[in-house]
Amino acid sequence: MSKILKHLPELEGDEQVEVARLLNKMNDRQAEHFARIYRSRRRDPIHVLILAAVGFVGIAGLQRLYMEEIGLGLVYVFTAGLCLIGTIYDIVKYQDLAFRYNREVAMEVAETVRTVYDEED
């Protein structure tokens, strides 16, 4: 757990546990490399919530586009957030949406870092 606190102290909850699990398999140099890439690619749950809330007064689906779900984002845009039902769901589940996205990004970045450092050895 000390690696996660050293490299990514801003993480909380399930995201912190998931990333800590990945960092435990890395040395300090790999963990630092992972943290730089992951920090730049992760999505903040508060941004997801704000973008979902914009769907009530503006363009629905921005939160899905932000999380690189282009197809579903476009469906939300053209159907007013599936008649606001999808937007309401996203507002309620914004933390889960961000966690799922961030978990996938963390696994991709961890694999990339491992591959880079395996090639160096």
pLDDT for res 3: 82
Compute the distance between CA of residue 24 and CA of residue 3 in angstroms, rounded to an integer.
Answer: 7
Residues 6+ apart with CB under 8 A from 33: 113, 116, 117
Phi, psi at 86, each rounded to 5°: -65, -35
Please say whether the beta carbons of 61 and 97 come within 8 A.
no
Q: How many domains is the chain partitioned into structurally?
A: 1
Per-residue pLDDT of the chain (121 residues), as tens digits, is 578 888 889 999 999 999 999 999 899 999 999 999 999 999 999 999 999 999 988 999 999 999 999 999 999 999 998 899 999 999 999 999 999 999 999 999 999 999 998 876 5
Q: What residues make up the domain containing 13? A: 2-120
Give the residue carrying structure tokens 């704000």. Answer: 50
pLDDT for res 121: 57
Output b/e per residue, 10-34; b: 16+ Cβ within 10 A.
ebeeebbebbbebbeebeeebbebb
